[in-house]
Chain A
Amino acid sequence: MTVASNLLTFFALAITLLLVWRRSWPGRLRLFVAQSVLLALLAAVVGMLAGKRELVVVALVFLALKGWIIPRVLARMASGTPARSGVAPGQSSGIALLAAGTLVVAAYVIILPVTASATLPTADAIPLAFAMALIGLFVCVTGRDVLGHVLGFLVFENGIFGLAVLATYGLPGLVEAGVFLDVLVIVLLLEGVVMQIRQEHDSLALDRLRELRE
Chain B
Amino acid sequence: MTLVVLLLVPLIAAALLAWGPARTARNLHATTLAAMLGAVLLVIADVTRDGAVIALDGLLRADPLSAWMVGLIAVVATLAGAEALAPGHGNVDGEAMRRFYALFHLFVFTMLLAVTTDDLGLMWVAVEGTTLASVFLVNFHRTRASLEAAYKYLLICSVGIALAFIGTVLVYFADVQQFGAEAHALRWTTLLRWAPQLPPRVVELAFVFLLVGYGTKAGLAPMHTWLPDAHSEAPAPISALMSGVLLSVGLYAVLRFKTVADVAAGPDFAARLLVLLGLASLAVAAAFLWSPTNVKRMLAYSSVEHVGLVALGLGFGGAWGVAGALLHIGNHALAKSTLFILSGRIRDAFGTADILPVRGLVRAMPVTGRGFALALLALLGLPPFGLFVSELMILGAGFRGGWWLASALALVLLLMAFAGMLRALHHMAYEPGPPAARREAPSWAGAAPVAVGLGLLLLTGMAWPPGLATALARAAAVLGG
Contact = CB atoms under 8 A, between A and B. Distances in A.
Interface of A: 110-111, 113-114, 116-120, 133, 137, 140, 146, 149, 153, 156-157, 160, 163-164, 167-169, 171-172, 174-175, 178-179, 181-182, 185-186, 189-190, 193, 196-197, 200, 209, 211-212, 214
Given A117-B199, A189-B154, A212-B148, 19 more contacts: A111-B205, A113-B202, A113-B204, A113-B205, A114-B173, A117-B201, A146-B151, A171-B168, A171-B169, A172-B185, A175-B186, A178-B121, A182-B125, A182-B129, A186-B132, A186-B158, A193-B150, A196-B147, A214-B297
B119 interface: yes
Interface in B160-175: 162, 165-166, 168-170, 172-174
Contact of A140 (B136, B147, B159): B159
B165 A160 contact: yes
B119 A174 contact: yes
A133 B166 contact: yes
A188 to B, nearest CB: 10
A196 B148 contact: no
Contacts of B186: 171-172, 175
Given A185-B132, A189-B154, A212-B145, A175 B122 contact: yes
Interface residues of B, number: 50
Given A189-B132, A193-B151, A160 B169 contact: yes
Contacts, number: 120
Nearest to A188: B132
Contact of B132 (A113, A182, A211): A182
Interface string B173-216: 11011000101011000000000000101101100000000000
Contacts of B297: 214
Contact of B162 (A149, A156, A168, A169): A156
Contacts of A197: 147, 151
Given A114-B170, A117-B202, A179 B125 contact: yes
A163 B154 CA distance: 23
- Which of B125, B199, B297 has the most A CB atoms < 10 Å from its CB? B125
A153 to B, nearest CB: 6
Dominant secondary structure of chain A at its interface with chain B: helix
Dominant secondary structure of chain B at its interface with chain A: helix
B438 interface: no
18 contacts: A113-B202, A113-B204, A113-B205, A116-B201, A117-B202, A163-B166, A163-B169, A175-B119, A175-B121, A175-B122, A175-B124, A175-B186, A179-B165, A182-B129, A189-B132, A189-B154, A211-B144, A211-B148
B288 to A, nearest CB: 7
B142 interface: yes
Nearest to A192: B136
Contacts of A140: 155, 159
Nearest to B181: A169
B149 interface: yes
Contacts of B142: 196
- Which of A114, A157, A164 has the most B CB atoms < 10 Å from its CB? A114
Contacts of B149: 212
Contacts of B181: 169
- Which of B144, B162, B202 has the most A CB atoms < 10 Å from its CB? B162
A196 B136 CA distance: 12
- Which of A119, A157, A212 has the most B CB atoms < 10 Å from its CB? A212
Contacts of B119: 172, 174-175
A209 B144 CA distance: 8
B292 to A, nearest CB: 10
Contact of A209 (B132, B139, B148): B148
A174 B150 contact: no
A197 B152 CA distance: 13
Contacts of A156: 159, 162
Nearest to B172: A168
Contact of A178 (B125, B166, B174, B229): B125
B135 interface: yes
Interface in B231-251: 233
Nearest to B149: A212
B124 A167 contact: no
Nearest to B294: A214
B121 A172 contact: yes
A167 B173 contact: yes
Contacts of A211: 144-145, 148
A189 B151 CA distance: 9
A167 B170 contact: yes
A114 B200 CA distance: 10
Interface string B103-144: 000000000000000010110110011001001100100101
B256 to A, nearest CB: 15
Given A178-B121, A193-B147, A196-B147, A168 B169 contact: yes
Closest 10 CB pairs of A and B: A178-B125, A175-B121, A113-B201, A167-B173, A211-B145, A117-B199, A209-B148, A212-B229, A164-B169, A113-B202
Contacts of A120: 177
Contacts of B129: 182
Interface in B328-376: none
B159 A175 contact: no
A164 B166 CA distance: 8
Contacts of A118: 173, 177
A178 to B, nearest CB: 3
Nearest to B184: A172
A186 B176 CA distance: 30
Nearest to A143: B155
B202 A114 contact: yes
A111 B167 CA distance: 12
A146 B150 CA distance: 13
A186 B150 CA distance: 12
Contacts of B154: 186, 189-190, 193
Contacts of B169: 160, 163-164, 167-168, 171
Nearest to A134: B166
B90 to A, nearest CB: 19
Nearest to A112: B201
